[in-house]
């Protein structure tokens, strides 16, 4: 348990006012020392979305006490742990990686997501998902005896959909399907082999 202590004595001498003007602020993030990054819009998040507008990314320098706009039309951002680079999402499915020190041309630093190629092996992914769900159920099922089911044997003889494949919409309920042998009605179980 984390205990938080607030030292109220002298609190007002430690608060720093930021003269950044009015607006709707969100995603405040500490960057490199003395820098604070945030999104600032003229309207609330809901009104921005309704109007098709996006907030701007700003950096506030605590030492110079000035605000600098780094990018316009930003829907989200994430800083590196060092705070020297930033991943910026524009909301149109475009992402850019830029240096945080100055205003950047997002188009020039845009990631070419269309060029990414991913090789997948659905059968291997299915086996991994099954093993992970099996392990989670083994570790966290409320009955250590698994209602008498031979749990190690279930790993060797998995329960799969009838055609031996799994589609993305099937995955959310997968955790419940991996343990039908411990339910009250194991007759619904269909067994197939993993290719």
132 and 65, same domain (yes or no)? no
Q: Give the domain extent around 72.
A: 20-114
* CA-to-CA separations, 188 to 17, 34, 126, 132, 156, in angstroms, rounded: 65, 62, 21, 22, 19
- Given phi > 0 = left and psi -120 to 50 = alpha, else beta, which region is 166? beta
pLDDT at 191: 46
Instruction: Give the end of a domain, one of 114, 133, 148.
Output: 114
- Same domain, yes or no: 93 and 25: yes
- The answer to whether residue 142 sits within a structural domain is yes
Per-residue pLDDT of 14-23, as tens digits, reads 887 778 888 8
Residue 77, pLDDT score: 92
* Reported pTM: 0.55
Give me the percent of the chain exceeding a pLDDT of 70: 72
Number of domains in the chain: 2
Q: Are 108 and 153 in contact (CB under 8 A)?
A: no
> Does the CA dihedral 122-123-127-130 come out positive or negative?
positive
Q: Is residue 146 part of a domain?
A: yes
Helix (H) or strand (E) holding 47: helix 45-51
Among 83, 114, 145, the domain boundary falls at 114
Taking only the tens place, the pLDDT of each residue in 123-170 is 777 778 778 888 888 888 888 888 888 888 877 766 555 345 555 555
Q: Quote the mean pLDDT of the chain.
A: 76
């Amino acid at each position: 348990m984390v205990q938080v202590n607030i030292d109220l004595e002298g609190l007002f001498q430690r608060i720093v006012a930021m003269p950044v003007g009015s607006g709707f602020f969100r995603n405040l993030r500490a960057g490199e020392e003395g820098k604070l990054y945030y999104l600032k819009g003229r309207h609330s998040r809901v009104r921005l979305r309704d109007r098709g507008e996006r907030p701007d990314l700003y950096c506030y320098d605590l030492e110079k006490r000035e605000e600098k706009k780094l990018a316009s039309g930003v829907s989200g951002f994430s800083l590196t742990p060092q705070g020297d680079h930033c991943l910026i999402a524009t909301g149109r499915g475009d992402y850019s990686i830029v240096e945080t020190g100055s205003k950047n041309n997002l188009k020039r630093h845009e990631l070419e997501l269309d060029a990414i190629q991913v090789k997948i092996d659905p059968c291997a992914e299915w086996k991994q998902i099954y093993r992970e769900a099996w392990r989670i159920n083994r570790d966290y099922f409320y009955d250590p005896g698994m209602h008498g089911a031979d749990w190690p044997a279930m790993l060797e003889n998995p329960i799969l959909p009838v055609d031996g494949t799994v589609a993305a919409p099937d995955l959310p309920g997968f955790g419940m399907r991996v343990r039908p042998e411990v339910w009250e009605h194991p007759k619904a179980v269909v067994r197939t082999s993993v290719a």
